[in-house]
A = this chain, B = another copy of it.
Amino acid sequence: MAARETNPNFMNGVPELLILRLLQQEEMYGYEIVQAIRSRTGAVITIGEGAVYPVLHGLEHDGALASSRKTVNGRSRIYYSVTHAGSSRLADLAEAWTHLTAAIQTILTGGQHGEAIQRTS
Q: Are A120 and B87 in contact (CB under 8 A)?
A: yes
Q: Are B118 and A46 in contact (CB under 8 A)?
A: no
Distance in angstroms between the alpha carbons of A121 and B91 in the assembled complex: 9
CB distance from A117 to the nearest CB of B (A): 5
Q: Are A118 and B100 in contact (CB under 8 A)?
A: no
Known contacts A44-B99, A45-B100, A101-B101; A91/B119 CB under 8 A: yes
Copies in the complex: 2
CB distance from A121 to the nearest CB of B (A): 6
Q: Does A10 contact B (CB under 8 A)?
A: yes
List residues of chain B with CB within 8 A of the CB of A22: 107
Q: Does A106 contact B (CB under 8 A)?
A: yes
CB distance from A90 to the nearest CB of B (A): 7
Q: Are A94 and B107 in contact (CB under 8 A)?
A: no
List residues of chain B with CB within 8 A of the CB of A120: 84, 87-88, 91
